[in-house]
Amino acid sequence: MKEIMIKDYIGSDTAVSYDDGKRCQKDIAECLDKGEKVILNFLGISYVITAFLNPVIGDLILERGNGVMKFIGIKNANETAIQKIKRVRDGALIKREDLEE
């Protein structure tokens, strides 16, 4: 199991950049490829927008299927971050369903 600190990709308490999300996604993907579970630690992240979460959450579900959710854990995310994570996750699950049909 590997813990990934979101703050390491941002350098502040605010995650608004899609490019930062892509860098984070790359490291998550490397762990997943090795069969490792990944814990995304949002410690020190006060604010996040969906543009950052699209690659980190949404693209991984779209690329790897619903099963990937069992390999990704969320830790220390605040209430508004969780709401946005859910929005991106649920949207990706619907899209994934459409792709499979």
Partner 1 sequence: MFSYDNNVKDKKLFIKISVEVKYNFQFLNDITELIHKVENSSCEIVYILCNPLDINFNKMGMAYLYNTLLSLAEKKNIFISSSLFKIVHAQVLHSSGDKFKKIELYREALKSVQQCYCFQGDKDVNKTVQILVDFITDKNLILENAKEFLVTTIGEIFSNAFNHSDRNQVFFMYDIEWNNDKFFLVINITDYGKTITGNVQEYQKSVHKKYLSGKECIEWAMKNGNTTRLGSGGYGLPTLVDYVSKVYGELFIFSGDCMYALEGTIEKILEAKGIFPGTSVSMKLPLFDTSKAVMYDKESNQIISIDLDQI
Choose the stretch contacting partner 1; rule: CB under 8 A; options: 1-9, 30-38, 65-73, 85-93: 85-93
Q: What is the C-alpha to C-alpha distance for residues 15 and 9, in angstroms, rounded to an integer?
A: 9
Binding partner 1 (rule: CB under 8 A), the pick from 27, 50, 71, 76 is 50
Round to whole Å and give the CA distance between 96 and 88: 12
Q: Does 46 bind partner 1 (CB under 8 A)?
A: yes
Please choose, from the candidates 82, 92, 96, 12, the residue with its C-alpha nearest in 3D space to the C-alpha of residue 40. 82
Cα distance between residue 22 and residue 80, in whole Å: 21
Among 39, 62, 69, 74, binds partner 1 (CB under 8 A): 62
Contacts of 49 (CB under 8 A, 6+ apart): 15, 16, 84
Q: How far is the CB of 32 from partner 1 (least distance, A)?
A: 16
Residues near partner 1, by CB under 8 A: 12, 14, 16-19, 46-47, 49-51, 54-55, 57-59, 61-63, 80, 84, 87-88, 91-92, 94-95
